[in-house]
Every structure is written in C-alpha cells, then in structure tokens.
Amino acid sequence: MSTPSSSMWGGRFAEATDQFVAQFTASVQFDQRMYRQDIRGSIAHATMLAEVGVLNVADRDLIIDGLNAIEAEIARGEFVWRVELEDVHMNIESRLTDRIGIAGKRLHTGRSRNDQVATDIRLYLRDEIDAIRGELKRLMTGLIDLAEREAETIMPGFTHLQTAQPVTFGHHLLAWFENIKRDDERLVDLRVRVNRMPLGSAALAGTTYPIDRRITAKLLGFDGLCENSLDAVSDRDFAIEFCSASALIMMHLSRFSEELVLWASAQFNFVDLPDRFCTGSSIMPQKKNPDVPELVRGKSGRVFGHLMALLTLMKGQPLAYNKDNQEDKEPLFDAADTVMGSLRAFADMVPALVPRREVMREAARRGFATATDLADYLVKRGLAFRDAHEVVGKAVGYGVSSGKDLAEMSLAELQNFSADIGEDVFDVLTLEGSVNARDHIGGTAPNQVRAAVVRARQRIN
C-alpha cells in the first residue's frame, strides 16, 4: 500500500511513498511538541523577509496572523496532525496554506527544514534549560533552608559507608547543595552555546536571497549566529552536552536518593519521609516504601542511556545533515522530561524531610568517630602523627574488645596507651567538641555551616 508523495517535496517523484515508509520516516508523532518554537521561528523569519524586501508586508501580515491562529488551534487541541506531512514543520506550513492561500507557500523562502529544525531544537532546549534551572533553584533553596535549621544536628559522617567522623546534618546537606550548584553552573555555560542561531543556513550552503540573519536572531532572542552553514545544520553538540549535563544531574540525584533510602530504613532511621512521597505494600501492611527516591535512582539509567544514544547517533555522520538526526529528538525530549520531573519531586520532598536528631546523634557515638580527634590531640601534645595514629589504633582495639567507645573510657584506661593524655582529652572526645573543632571555611562546625548558608543564598541569587 502507498500514500501520495508529500505536496511539499514530491515534485520529482514518479511513484507514491510506501505507506509503511511514510509511517516509519515520520517524526510528527514526537516533534509536534515543538510547535510553539516552530511558529515563533516562522514569525521571525517572515518578519525578516519583509524587512529585506523578499516578502511584501501584506503577505507578512497574513502569515503572522495565520500562524498565531494555528498556535491557538493547536493549544485548544483542534489541530489535526497528519503523518503523511512527516513533521511539525510541514504540518504547520500546510495548514497555513490552507488558511491563507498562496501567501503561505512563500513562508519557506530562504530556508530549509534542515536549518528550521536545528533552530526549533535550540529554541526548545533554551526553554527547557530555563525551566530546569528554576527547579534546581527550588531544590537548592530547600537544601539551604534545611541546612540552616539543622546546623547543630550531629550525625555520623561516612567513608566506605563506615562511621568516619562526626559531622552536622546541615553540613551534609550543603554538600548536596554544592553538587546541585555545579549542575546549575553547567547549564548556564551550556545555554551560551545553545543560544546561537542556525536559521539562514538553509539546507547546507546558505541562500541566494538577501536575508539578514541578525534581524531574525534579535527577534528570537539569540545571542549570536552559527557562523558556518554546514556546521549549523548538522551540529548536535549542544544536544549531547545537554544530555551530559542531565546525566550529571541525575547521577547526583541518584546518590542523594541512595542516602535517603538508607536513612529512611529501620536500620538507620535517620529521617522520616512524609507519607505523600511514599507508597505501601499490597501484602505487608507495615511497609512504607521510599518510592520517589527509588524511582529517581532508577530513572538515572535512562538519561545515561540517552547520552550514549546521541553520541552513537552522531559519531559516524559525514557533513552535513543526514536523516539519522531525526533520532536526536526522542532521547533529548525524554532526558529533559526525566530531569524536570525528578527535580520537581526532590524540590518538593527535601524541605519536608524530618530528621530524627537523637537517632543521628546516637549513631555518631558508635564506631569510634572521634578517633582522629584523639590523634590530633596527641600531635598537639608533641607526638608525631604516625606515632599518635598507632596509639589511637591500640586504644580503638581495646574499645572493640571491651565494648567501650573512646569517650566512655576512663582517663586511666586512656593513659594506658599514652602518658601524654590528660583530663582535657574529654573535651575533644565529645561529639560537640569534634564538630566545633572543624572551624574553618568548608568545615562542619555549626558556625561555619551558618556562614556557608549565607554564602549559598548569595550564590543562588
């Protein structure tokens, strides 16, 4: 079975397109989401053509009014998308010609679908970056607010998932803030490269019409122009870079998710996740499952896959445009959707976390978390660090066999390992003494956490 060749390009064809091929090669099923960007680009293009005298003012006005009417029609859900017209661009142009007649056929003067789609994707991605940055800021604000409230809440810090040293919960939350802040900085940097206009490059070599690309770029809010027409229509670096930045965001959210899943478990019990972010079990009545962080942790894999898909898509393509590039949109769209949804979930959830302060504190008392503090104490008494390390190691060994933490040992017990230990040792073996001693920029001391909160607010504003 076959379908008539598209009236937009079928002039040289002697037979109709196979119906399966028409379905197989069409992209309108997924690229229709760019209709606003496509219409915005077409209005700017028509305006520029009129400015340089290629299009008369009457046709320009007909085109712009027609495109605005079509945008409203799509928004109302009344637009009929036709697979035989292949993509969002030709569907809109065909509908425009139906509405306003021959003036609609003049819109495509001086451009190609190659530079049109490259422009649409950049406009779409620019909008997505701005929206994602809004969710990143919401999440960063939530982290900062919670860190400020929990600046003095003591918890164990971990390496190798083993108790290492005491930290404050506020300090831990600000570590996640730093992750997310770097994600935001990457998007700011990426947006500069996204915001360059390919329109005017036409199919691959530019156009013979006296266009002024700067007019179009200004109308569309682009900061600059793609300088080479061959590169402009075939470049997808910006899409790959977006997926790379998205993969890093999801990696960070996945690590955060892993901690929340652990912390919400009965074994840790560090935090309580509000019920609205959890689900139950169909068979076990007691269950409260941390589905939101688990699902975000799982969704990271699909975004990683999209990055690899785009790299693989582009690696073998010669210049300039190839039909392969139609496969760039679904990974890109899904990466943007996944990141946006995951960030929204976290930005809603993080401010609602309820820390179990006493449980965290008790956990910090286990595992000899102040061992390094004792070693530092001995160094300040004149012992070489390696010797102090050995002394404390023996004290810990004794603690393991006797079931006592360092702070629970008597002075006499501690002095069995070093005569340099005095009564003031208990000031450094307390949890508060340990965290307060890390009193420098980047340290976990509560006053440093509060100072970091102030700087963090300034950085996101």
- Mind telling me the catalytic residues? 160, 281
Q: How far is CA 426 from the centre of its chain?
A: 45
Under the phi-then-psi rule, with left for phi > 0, alpha for psi from -120 to 50, and beta for the rest, what region is 81? Answer: beta
Kindly give, in sequence order, each residue whose CB lies less than 8 Å from that of residue 171, ignoring residues fewer than 6 positions away: 147, 443, 444, 448, 449, 452
d(CA 295, CA 163) in angstroms, rounded, equals: 27
Tell me the CA end-to-end span of the chain in Å, nearest whole number: 60
Integer CA distances (angstroms), 2 to 10, 19, 83, 94, 208, in order: 14, 4, 13, 20, 36
φ, ψ for residue 203, nearest 5 deg: -70, -45
Cis ω before 58 (30° cut-off from 0): no
Angle at CA of residue 29, ends 44 and 115, nearest 5°: 35
**Tokens 């030709």, residue?**
90
Nearest to 259 by CA among 273, 245, 248: 273
Q: How far is CA 228 from the centre of its chain?
A: 30
Q: Residue 127: is it exposed, middle or buried by C-beta count within 10 angstroms (0-12/13-18/19+)?
A: middle
d(CA 230, CA 320) in angstroms, rounded, equals: 5
Strands, E assignment, 112-160: 154-159
**Tokens 């930005």, residue?**
347
**Cβ-contact 47, 207 below 8 angstroms:** no
445 residue type, one letter: A
